[in-house]
Structure 1
Amino acid sequence: MTVTDPCTADQQPEPTTLAEACDLVHTPDLDISEDGMFGTYGGAHLPPQLAGPMREVAEAYAEARQDPEFYAEYARLLRDFVGRPSPLTPLERLSDELGGARIVLKREDLNHTGAHKINHCVGEALLAKRMGKTSLIAETGAGQHGVALATAAALVGLDCEIHMGAVDIAKQHPNVVRMRLLGTKVVSVEREGRSLKEAVDSAFAVYAANPEKYLFAIGSVVGPHPFPTIVRDFQAVVGRESRRQIVERYGRLPDAVIACVGGGSNAMGAFTAYLDDSDVRLIGVEPGGRSQAKGEHAMTMGKGVPGMLHGMSTLVLQDEEGTPDPVHSIASGLDYPGVGPQHARFKELGRVEYVAEDDAAVLDAFQRLSRTEGIVPALESSHAVAHALRIAPRLPKEQMLLVNLSGRGDKDVDYVAEKLGITGDADEVVH
């Protein structure tokens, strides 16, 4: 497949606003509606006391999106602080071993703080500063969003408060320490499932009580309008970069773009630049967990039904009364019973394929990428790697799979070692 657009990436004019940057690759599904709807999904379904604060955020963001000074500062920080553009890495040895399609990684794991989350956290911190807020508040699952937001808060001089499920705090101890070292208050959420959904609930409750102080810097393309749009726009840099890079290096577009999906921010960032390229498959990989029994997975796209969650209309894993189901994933950042409303719209349109990989396949992918290519991936990202490993051998060698490696696995090393029975002891002792 060759690029049909005669205007190659390096010939496109440099954008001067965030709106222009997001419009470089235009699709109707990226249009911002006043009520934040993507088809029948999205919106802002909120208690009365939050309607005003959400409207304030939406208006402030609409202005910032058109402001050249805001975009110039954001772009400068992505370059000088985050370290963008993140590189492409072809997996030569692993692709040779598989014997099928070639696999190329988009290395979001090499960003400062180790994941894609910093892309939108820097933007949210700048927006909070612009609005005169004194503190950022958010949830986190794997801790990557929490660390990124704590970092961005320290960068621009804001306070920060992160709510995290007690289960995830136990699994992600290194990230908890990093957040505290950065000066952030970490709140352990002990209620119900003690994971990501409960962390969102807890953070929203604190925000609702004091919206004048806080900006709720949500960590994915979820929640009430305008958050799915805000996070998508800041993450769209991933796809814009990869499209430019892959055209410059290979003279063509990839045959497929693959990314993990929990709430869906890294996948949205990876997919948006390719939505109008009908020959490029877009594949979102959900957590298949331990089994397909209720509470043993987080396959929202595969098994969810329309419902309401955290101020948005979307697909939800829930019971007959509308109560969200318990969920499980080996990756803390993916154990969420909902999904971003734009992803629900993509499924409805059939533009994105949503599949699942289970915990065993994810652990195998984690090890194979580490040992074959010297890259230790986050367990979240390992879902996308696992699916690439599954389908690459079935595809012709001339095909190319672009995998968004959304984060690095430093945070997961202790947990994976425990799961695999790997100790910190030496293999051999010499006296």
Structure 2
Amino acid sequence: MSAAIDHAVLAPRPPAAAAAPSRRSLLGLSREAMATALVEAGIPERQAKMRVQQLWHWLYVRGVKDFADMRNVSKDLRQLLAEHFEIERPEIVEEQISVDGTRKWLFRFPARGAGRPVEIETVYIPEEGRGTLCVSSQVGCTLTCTFCHTGTQRLVRNLEPGEIVGQLLTARERLGDFPDAATPQGAIVPSEGRLVSNVVMMGMGEPLYNYDNVAQAIAVMSDGDGLALSKRRITLSTSGVVPMIGRTGEEMGVMLAISLHAVTDELRNVLVPINKKYPIAELMEACRSYPGLSNARRITFEYVMLKGVNDSLDDARQLVKLLRGIPAKINLIPFNPWPGSPYECSDWDQIERFADLVNQAGYASPIRTPRGRDIFAACGQLKSESERMKKGDRLALAAAVAE
């Protein structure tokens, strides 16, 4: 049975004074931007570089979330920092734990401008030898892919760099992946090494429609003196924003995944409507010219298996033909159901036949094991609005999915 830890009951907060200035978050800032912010707050320019190095260590190596815990920073400086800045992470509204160890967090971020607080979902998937965090880049999505639950939620806004990085920081804290943090008793995590070893930008939203913020967040995540994630362990998934793909390779240098899901424009126009703007031929050309592409840096093509829709052996043959000449692997994803979905998952025997044909053509085509289905944490199931359902309704839906 999945477990849920509810953080939604909050004590009422007194209204803030009307004239109180807002504090700027330091999370997600580049080193240069952080130095500028510190100087503007009154820290001498000659000290700025050293102070940035101190803050960077405390935020991203030690994982502290309160200036008071920065022990090698003077009391006066800690007070000045607290007056001008914040390092708050997202509020945890709910944490759900699947029977297979997958964890899903419903995170809440404060309002920006005149907006309201917003919520997103982030998922942690433990495996032997690695732990993968599926990170969101937007609140909602504009792409309306018909097999994806997130696509039924309208886009509210982009996430800022600190909000993207904050998902990683909070996950590492909750899992005990910082030096002074404890791993929850009984948690399913890798037996050795970093508990969050990989990040995939495959959560809510289209990362390339929030390019600048995602690029800045990835720069912070991959900084060698901080979170120090190798760019080969960061994968960005796009539905096919063709003009931004080359720039992603040049500027971010991360691994690329393409949400393909169909081998003809006619079908992909339905499943992934952005195909009407950037058809398959243009997408494949962008993939062939992706900077750094090689057998050691292959593109992953994601292909959700929909019964009677895109799972025939003729589809498999066309897929092989389509990818010819591209160093690639194909992730076959059994469709993960969600309430109201018009699709069914392909029969397992058919998925295996599809995979065998693709494998025989020389492409690795692993079948992704469904993870976290019982807590709606599997691929294509994320939708923050679902968490506002009553607990009884969620349990009833989970039981229906299990059947």
Q: Which bracket does the TM-score occupy, shorter chain normalised?
A: 0.3 to 0.5
Q: Which of structures 1 and 2 has the larger relative contact order (alpha carbons within 8 angstroms, sep 6+)?
A: 1
Higher helix share: 1
Larger Rg: 2
Q: TM-score, normalised by structure 1?
A: 0.30
